[in-house]
Amino acid sequence: MKEPVIGVTLNWYKNDESKVPAYGKWLFGLNQSYAKLMGKADVIPVGIIPVSEDTRNILDIVDMILLTGGGDPDPELYDQRNSGSIGCHRERPLWEMELYRNAREMKIPVFAICLGIQLIAMAEGEQLIQNISTQVDDPDDHNGKADDPGKHTVEIMEGTILREILGSEIEVCSFHHQAVAGIPKGYHQAAKSKDGVIEAMESDDGLVIAVQWHPERDFTGPLILHSMISRFFGDTE
């Protein structure tokens, strides 16, 4: 079987104001850690550029999507006032939530990381914890630095796909200060940290695995990606 095509979302960076008239408002990019993750699997990765509001044409040519990490969504998008969000992005969250909704309608598998799990929760009507350090009692070290990410233990629930892949308890690479506040309908919790923060969830139909930590920066990413490829596409050789 031919290698599956994985559509990978890109981060949106604001262009310099002086360059906007010539080049547009946004630059699109991706940390190399995601490229390295894709390189460890038998897949054909393609970057998804928001060329229009209609995402179905993009989804018609991919077999699976990877929702990558990024900045804080504007809390107005989940009906909250700002109580610790930084940056408050709107355009990317709105576009990727629509991408996600269409992927679900088209039954396309989704692997979501960090911002990805948050956008899924928002698209399904849930809210976010805007700042773990001030809104969670006795919080773990979720938010390290770019060159020194936080590391903490997560407990993986019985009966989940992640439990089959990773076991019952692991240490993960963590770089976030927000988290999902609740599990949407049609999903179940798959992992939590010792402070109770939701660290992963899976869709009841098994098509979506979403994690709050950064698996592209630790050992868990290749294991999760290989498992999803095997389950959905079989032997690609």
Domain ranges of the chain: 5-233
Among 3.30.360.10, 3.40.50.970, 3.30.70.260, 3.40.50.880, name the CATH number for the domain at 5-233. 3.40.50.880
Q: What is the DSSP letter of 148?
A: B
* Mean pLDDT over each residue of the chain, to the nearest integer: 94
Spatial strand order in the sheet of 169-174: 44-48, 5-9, 64-67, 110-113, 208-211, 198-203, 187-193, 150-156, 169-174
C-alpha–C-alpha distance, residues 176 and 22, integer Å: 34
pLDDT-derived band at 140 (thresholds 50, 70, 90) equals: confident
> Does residue 235 surpass a pLDDT of 80?
no
Q: Which residues of 20-45 are buried (b: 16+ CB within 10 A; e: fewer)?
A: eeeeeebeeeeeebbeebbeebbbeb
C-alpha–C-alpha distance, residues 27 and 48, integer Å: 13
Structure confidence by residue, pLDDT tens digits, 23-58: 999 999 999 999 999 999 989 999 999 998 889 999
Between 140 and 39, the more confident residue is 39
C-alpha–C-alpha distance, residues 197 and 136, integer Å: 8
Q: Are 6 and 46 in contact (CB under 8 A)?
A: yes
Q: Are 191 and 172 in contact (CB under 8 A)?
A: no
C-alpha–C-alpha distance, residues 155 and 200, integer Å: 10
Which one, of 113, 132, 127, 115, lies nearest residue 196 by Cα? 132
Q: What is the DSSP letter of 31?
A: -
Which one, of 175, 176, 120, 118, lies nearest residue 147 by Cα? 175
Structure confidence by residue, pLDDT tens digits, 153-170: 999 999 999 999 999 999
